[in-house]
Structure 1
Amino acid sequence: MRNKNKLLIAQLDEKLILFKEAEKILVPSKGWINTIRTSLNMTREQLGMKLNLTKGGIQKIEEREATGQITLNKLKDAGRALNMKFIYGFVPEDGTIENLINLKAEKLARKIVLRTNQNMKLEDQAISEKKIEESINDLADELKREMSKSLWD
């Protein structure tokens, strides 16, 4: 990776690490709005007053959140009405953005090198397993350095 990209990725990983613990939190089956509202012993009417909505409007918001059909703006509004801050983010499945890039680069490099080696075998020019692994590592390093767009195909 070029120095600028490497720095940007390191900074992004630092920010995203804060979300790592949050991924362990399970979303309640009725959604956060309903769970928090009922935990606070707040009625739908009371929350509706804060959002200029009817009791039925709050019920629809709660249902939409539970089914994943609510907008981010509605979640922000509900958070403010509940005196809470709405937080939104992504957590890399493989730990960090850098790990994700490493995995993608290695996978693509392996695919390219093995395909090339297969063609060479057909021409009776196959290379050793050690040389294959070295070639995969070298190509993966090059793909990471260049931050090739082909990593995401």
Structure 2
Amino acid sequence: MKPDLRHKARNRLDERLLPLKPTDRFKAPPKGWIRAVRDALGMTGVQFAKRLGVSPQSVDALEKSEATGSIKLESLRRAAEALDCTLVYALVPNNSLEGTVRDRARRIALRDLGRVAHTMKLEAQGTGDADLEARIGAYIRDALKDRDLWDQP
């Protein structure tokens, strides 16, 4: 994918995911969403088990696996359907995707330019910090590509 298309794709995803913030609104209840919805509906474990076509013991294991975070997405989807719910699954970035890429590029540029500045100081050719932002912008524009940002941790 070309850089401009990636930029547009990041912006589109950022716009779509914005309504999901702040994410703390979606923090699962202590016993999990399945149990919370089932209890709110007044549905017993035995009734839920029948709807799922499993044993009551399996319902208990299912609810515990959700509460501990080890549930499979397919199991969660089936449980949601049995509760007449829709499973909504999303990865919501802590920062905007565009901001993440911009911050990562800046960090790499500062690291790489710092190496060059150190070498130039050793050779008595140091540059001042006055044009640092311009050099960072030029380095990101001319030397860094999106795919290069994630080669290192």
Q: TM-score, normalised by structure 2?
A: 0.89
Match of 1:77 in 2: 78
Match of 1:36 in 2: 37
Aligned-partner Cα distance in 2 for 1:58–1:28: 17
Aligned-partner Cα distance in 2 for 1:104–1:37: 43
Query: What are the equivalent positions in structure 2 for 1:1-153 lying under 5 Å apart?
Result: 2-94=3-95, 96-142=96-142, 146-147=145-146, 149-152=147-150, 153=152
Aligned-partner Cα distance in 1 for 2:141–2:41: 53
8 Å Cα contact 1:79-1:85 kept in structure 2? yes
How many residues are aligned here?
A: 150
CA distance 1:142–1:17, change in 2 (3 Å)? farther
Aligned-partner Cα distance in 2 for 1:89–1:142: 34
Segments of 5+ residues of structure 1 without an aligned counterpart are none
CA distance 1:143–1:45, change in 2 (3 Å)? farther
Segments of 5+ residues of structure 2 without an aligned counterpart are none
Q: RMSD of aligned C-alpha atoms? A: 1.7
Percent pairwise identity: 29
After TM superposition, give the deviation of residue 21 of structure 1 in Å: 4.2
Query: Partner amino acid for 1:107?
Result: R
- Which one is further off, 78-87 or 19-28? 19-28
Q: Which has the higher contact order (CA 8 A, sep 6+)?
A: 1
Q: TM-score, normalised by structure 1?
A: 0.89
Helix, strand or coil at the partner of 1:24: helix
Aligned-partner Cα distance in 2 for 1:28–1:125: 60
Aligned-partner Cα distance in 1 for 2:132–2:84: 58
